[in-house]
Structure 1
Amino acid sequence: MKTKNAIILAAGKGTRMKSKLYKVLHQVAGKAMVDHVLTQLEANHMDNIVTVVGFGAENVEQALGERTKYAVQKQQLGTGHAVMQAADLLSDLDGQTLVISGDTPLFKAATLQKLVDYHTAKKASATVLTSIAPDPTGYGRLVRNDIGIVEKVVEQKDATPEEQAIDEINTGVYCFDNKTLFDALKLLSNDNAQGEYYLTDVIGILKKRGDIVAAYRMADFDESMGVNDRIALAKANEIMRNRINTHWMEEGVTLLDPKTTYIDSDVKIGSDTVIEGGVTIKGNTVIGTDCYISAHSDIINSIIHDEVKITSSTLEDSEMHTGSDIGPYSHLRPASEIGENVHIGNFVEVKKSFIDKGTKVGHLTYVGDATLGKNINIGCGVVFINYDGTSKHHTNIGDHAFIGSNSNLIAPVNIAEDSFVAAGSTITDDTNKFDMAIARARQTNKPDYAKKLPW
C-alpha cells in the first residue's frame, strides 16, 4: 500500500537564538514553531509523521506528545544524517515522504500539498520546493541547465560565484519516493566544507543515476522563512499575525487597529465582534458573535459567549456567558465563570468563582473561591476573605441577596437567599432567608470631645 509520510527535522540546537529553550519550541503566534509544522502536515492527512530530535528531545516530545513518532539524532552531522535516523521507522514503506524543517512555521498545508501533487504528476524520484528570494544570501541554490531541468542543489558555502548569483533558492522542503530516498542516503558522503552529510546531495546522487528530479516553485517566499535567531523570530511573528488578522477580518470580525492586535493561531472568533487596538488574545480562546473588546484587554485560554463586552480587562482560563460585561481594569483569574447578563465593574478581581445570571459586582471588590446565585448586588469594597493562612475556604451567596459596601465575608460562610448584609459588616456566621446581618460596632458620639484634640 502506498503511504504518505513526513519527516520533521528538529534536532538542531539553535545556538544563534542564545536561549535555554530548544530552538523549535520558540513560539510564533502562541504556538511552538515545530507545532505549526506538525499542524500543517496533519491537515494533509499523513499516514506517518516522524520528528527527528536531538538536543532537548524530551522537551519536544512533551510538547508534541503522541501526534508524531520520534527518531533521535545523537550527533548533529547534517540534514542527510538526520533523515537517516528515521530509517527504522520508514525505510521499508512504499509511497512518498515529505521532508521539512521544524523551524519553518510559516508553511501552509496547501503549499505542501501542491508540492506532493506536482511530485506525483512528474513521476519524480525527488522534488525540491523552491522560491525566488529577494536576497538569496545564506540559502542553498537550485541549479538548472539551459532548458530548466534541475541539475543540483548547492549549499551557500559550497557554491561558486556563478551559483551564488542564482536567486532561486532551496526552501529545505522535499518530496521523495520513500524507498528511493533511503537507498540514496546510503551513498551520502561528508566530503564538503562543513564535513556534514547534506540531504541536498541526494539530489545529485539521483541525477547521476538518471532518476527524474523536479522542482516546484512556490509563489510566496515568506512561507519558506527559517527562524535561526531572534530577529527572524520577530519577523515570523509579524507575518503570522498579519495572516491571522487578515483571516479574521475576512470572516467578519472588525479589527480597529490590526497592527496592534495580537491574536494567537488557535483562537476562534465569531462574526460582528469588534476588537480595538492593543488587545492580546492568547491560547485556545473562543469568542462568540457580536462581542466588543476594548483597548488593552488581555484574554488567555477563555471562552467568551455572544454579546459580551470586555473593557480594558484581563481574563485567564475563564468563561463569560451571553450578555455579560466586565471592566474597565478588572481581572478574571483562572476557573472563574460569569453567568448571563452579569455586570463586573471596574477594579474587580474574581478568582475560582461562579457568578450566576443577573448579579452585579460593581467596583473595588475581591471575589475568591465563591458561588454567587442570581440577581445579587455586591456593594463597593466587598472582600471575600477566603484564606486563613493555611487553607482556602468557600463562600456561598443565595439568589437575590444584598451585600452592603465595605463588608468582609469570612469563609467558610453561607449567605442565604433574599438576605441582607449591612454595609461595613464583617460576617463570620451563616444567615437565614430574609435575615439582615449587621456586624459592626455601634456608633458613639462624644459631645465636644474634638475640642480636646491637639489640632
Structure 2
Amino acid sequence: MNLKSIILAAGKGTRMKSKLPKVLHKVCGTEMVNHVINIAMKAGCTENVVILGHEAQMVKDNLKNNVKTAIQEKQLGTGHAVMMAKDHIKEDDKIVVLCGDTPLIKESTLQRLFDYHKENKCVATVLTTKVDNPTGYGRLIRDDNEDVLKIVEQKDATEEEAKVNEINSGIYCFNGKELKMSLSKISNNNNQGEYYLTDVIEILKNEGFKVGAYEGSTIEELMGVNSRVDLQRAENILKNRINQYHMENGVTIIDSNNTYIECDVKIGMDTIIYPGTIINGNTTIGEDCTIGANCRIENSSINNNVKIQSSTIIDSTVGNNTTVGPYAYLRPKSNIGENVKIGDFVEVKNSTIGDNSKASHLAYIGDASVGKNVNIGCGVVFVNYDGKNKFKSIVEDNAFIGSNCNLVAPVTVKEKGYVATGSTITDDVPGGSLSIARAKQVNKEGWVDKKGIFKK
C-alpha cells in the first residue's frame, strides 16, 4: 500500500488574532502543521502534501521533512482544498486527509484507521467518535444496518440529524482512484457555498462503493486549535503526554504539572527532573542526572550523572559527572568536559573546558580553551572583546588562575602556569611560572587626617 497524506493548512485562523498563520503556532515547541506531518510519517505515510493558502510562503518556509505542497488560492472548502492536490493522487494510492490544526492526533489511531480501511475493503473510511455535545461538528448519518449514509454539516443538518452524537473528525482514508472520481462530482450547493469533502462520502455511497466509519479516536485527539484558549489546552494535553512517556521510561518527574519538556527531547533512565524546569529543542539528557528546579536546557547534550541546579544551558555539551550551578549560564558552543565544576554565577560562552577543571563561582569564560585540571578562581574574567573584535584565550593543563584576575585575549597560560590573585595578564605566561601583574601596594600613613575627611 502506497500511503500518502494530504494535510489541509490553507486557512487564516482569524480567531487566533495573530499575524502568524494558525498552523505555525507552536504546541510544545513544534508548529502544529509539523506535528501533523511527523505523525503522518510515523504512521507510515511515504509522501506528504500540504495544502497552502493564507501566507503560503511563510508556511512553506517553516515546513520540515521535505514535504510537497499545493496552493489553494481561494479557500472554497475542504473538498476544494483536496482538489488542489489531485496531481499528487495516483489511482493505486491510499490517501489519508488530515487537518493542519489538529496536533493531538495519535500515530496509533491513524494506524488503526488504515487497518480498518484495508480489512473491511472500503474505498473511503471516516474516523469518528461519539460525544455528549456534538454542537458544531459534522454528524455521521448511518442507516438502520449501521452502514454509513452520509456526513451532514451542522448548518445543513435537519432537526433529527442534529441529535446524532457520532461526529466527523475531518480525518479520512481513501483509495486514490475513487477519491479522484468523486472529487470531480462534488458541488457547492449548500448553505456555505463551499465544496465539502464530506460530500465525497455520499457520492461514493450512491455509486455503490463500500464506505466505512471507524469509531476509534477520542475527542481530545480531534481537537482543532482555533484560538489562543485552544492552543493553551493543546499545550497542556501534549505536555502531559510527553511527561507521562518519560515517566513510563524510567524518568522521575517530581511535579509533572510544572515541568515543560518538548517533543524531541530524549532523557535517560533514573534521571530526576525538579519543578519549573524547561527542556526544549533537540536536547539529550543521559542517565542518573539530577536537573534541579528552574533550569532551562535548550538544544544541548547532557551526559550521565550530571547535576544541574537552577541554571541555563543553550546549544552546549556537558560531560559525565559534571556539576553546573546554581545560577550558571552556559551560552552557545560551550563544551564542558567530565568531572568539571561550573559553580554559581559562572558564565561560559563559546569555550571548551577540559576534564577535572573547575570554575567555582563568579567568573566569565568567553572564547576560551581551558585544559584539564585547571582552577579558575572567583572573579576571573576572560577579556575577549576589545570593542571591535573577539579574541581567544588558552589556558593549558594544570594551570591555576587566582581570584580576581583578568586574562586579556589573545593570551596563553602555558601548562602548570600560575597567575597570582588580582593580576591583569596581557602577555603569555610560560609553563611552570608564576605571573604577577599588579601594582605594588603603597600605604600613605596619616593621609586621612591630613585630608580632614572626618572633621566635624
Q: Secondary structure at the match of 1:224?
A: coil
Aligned residue runs from structure 1 range 352-431, under 5 A:
352-431=350-429
- Give the CA deviation at 1:165: 2.1
Seq. identity, %: 53
Deviations 1:366-410 (A, max 9, x none): 111000000111110111111111111101001111111111111
Aligned to 2:98: 100
Could you tell me which of 137, 158, 171 is aligned with 2:156? 158
Could you tell me which of 253, 256, 271 is aligned with 1:255? 253
Tell me the distance in 1 between the aligned counterparts of 2:236 and 2:18: 20
Letter in 1 for 2:104: L
2:135 aligned with 1:128, yes or no?
Answer: no
CA RMSD in angstroms comes to: 1.1
Tell me the distance in 2 between the aligned counterparts of 1:193 and 1:386: 68
Deviations 1:71-118 (A, max 9, x none): 11111111000000111121x331311101011111111110111110
Tell me the distance in 2 between the aligned counterparts of 1:138 and 1:446: 87
Tell me the distance in 2 between the aligned counterparts of 1:413 and 1:141: 74
Contact kept? 1:131, 1:169, Cα under 8 Å: yes
Tell me the distance in 2 between the aligned counterparts of 1:158 and 1:333: 57
Deviations 1:252-279 (A, max 9, x none): 0000001100000000000000001110
Tell me the distance in 2 between the aligned counterparts of 1:296 and 1:249: 19
Aligned to 2:73: 74
Tell me the distance in 2 between the aligned counterparts of 1:229 and 1:260: 23
Tell me the distance in 1 between the aligned counterparts of 2:382 and 2:47: 53
Q: Secondary structure at the match of 1:124?
A: coil
Contact kept? 2:91, 2:175, Cα under 8 Å: no
- Give the CA deviation at 1:44: 2.4
Aligned to 2:205: 207
Aligned to 1:176: 174
Tell me the distance in 1 between the aligned counterparts of 2:73 and 2:148: 33
Contact kept? 2:127, 2:217, Cα under 8 Å: no
Aligned to 1:443: 441
Aligned to 2:24: 25
Contact kept? 2:418, 2:435, Cα under 8 Å: yes
Q: Secondary structure at the match of 1:120?
A: helix
Deviations 1:283-305 (A, max 9, x none): 11000000000100000010000
Aligned residue runs from structure 1 range 7-156, under 5 A:
7-65=6-64, 67-90=66-89, 92-156=90-154
Tell me the distance in 1 between the aligned counterparts of 2:204 and 2:157: 19
Tell me the distance in 2 between the aligned counterparts of 1:162 and 1:426: 86
Q: Give unpaired runs (5+ residues) of structure 2.
A: none
- Figure out how many residues of one structure are paired with residues of the other and give that number: 453
Tell me the distance in 2 between the aligned counterparts of 1:154 and 1:348: 63
Aligned residue runs from structure 1 range 258-273, under 5 A:
258-273=256-271
Could you tell me which of 265, 277, 280 is aligned with 2:278? 280
- Give the CA deviation at 1:221: 2.1
- Return closer, same or farther for 1:88/1:95 CA change in 2, 3 Å cut-off: closer
Deviations 1:122-154 (A, max 9, x none): 111211000112432221111112231111111
- Give the CA deviation at 1:331: 0.5
Contact kept? 2:122, 2:210, Cα under 8 Å: yes
Tell me the distance in 1 between the aligned counterparts of 2:91 and 2:311: 54
Tell me the distance in 2 between the aligned counterparts of 1:190 and 1:98: 23
Deviations 1:220-271 (A, max 9, x none): 2211111111111111111101101111000000000011000000000000
Tell me the distance in 2 between the aligned counterparts of 1:85 and 1:152: 23
- Give the CA deviation at 1:214: 0.7
Contact kept? 1:144, 1:150, Cα under 8 Å: yes
Contact kept? 1:372, 1:396, Cα under 8 Å: yes
Tell me the distance in 1 between the aligned counterparts of 2:158 and 2:294: 53
Letter in 2 for 1:71: A
Q: Secondary structure at the match of 2:3?
A: strand
- 358-367 vs 160-169, greater mean Cα deviation: 160-169
Contact kept? 1:286, 1:304, Cα under 8 Å: yes
Aligned to 1:6: 5
- Give the CA deviation at 1:161: 2.5
Aligned to 1:327: 325
- Give the CA deviation at 1:65: 4.0
Letter in 2 for 1:263: I
Aligned to 2:215: 217
Tell me the distance in 1 between the aligned counterparts of 2:174 and 2:351: 55
Letter in 1 for 2:331: R
So what's the TM-score if we normalise by structure 2?
A: 0.97
Tell me the distance in 1 between the aligned counterparts of 2:195 and 2:425: 74
Tell me the distance in 2 between the aligned counterparts of 1:398 and 1:6: 56
Contact kept? 1:254, 1:275, Cα under 8 Å: yes
Tell me the distance in 1 between the aligned counterparts of 2:135 and 2:365: 57
- Give the CA deviation at 1:66: 5.0
Tell me the distance in 2 between the aligned counterparts of 1:163 and 1:395: 76
Tell me the distance in 2 between the aligned counterparts of 1:244 and 1:21: 26
Tell me the distance in 2 between the aligned counterparts of 1:284 and 1:406: 37
Q: Secondary structure at the match of 2:58?
A: helix
Tell me the distance in 2 between the aligned counterparts of 1:101 and 1:11: 10
- Give the CA deviation at 1:166: 1.8
Contact kept? 1:3, 1:93, Cα under 8 Å: no
Q: Secondary structure at the match of 1:345?
A: strand
Contact kept? 1:79, 1:199, Cα under 8 Å: yes
- Give the CA deviation at 1:168: 1.1
- 53-62 vs 272-281, greater mean Cα deviation: 53-62
Letter in 2 for 1:109: E
Q: Secondary structure at the match of 1:391?
A: coil
- 224-233 vs 64-73, greater mean Cα deviation: 64-73
Contact kept? 1:416, 1:430, Cα under 8 Å: yes
Tell me the distance in 2 between the aligned counterparts of 1:20 and 1:335: 33
Tell me the distance in 1 between the aligned counterparts of 2:271 and 2:64: 34
Deviations 1:333-392 (A, max 9, x none): 001010000000000110010000000101111111000000111110111111111111
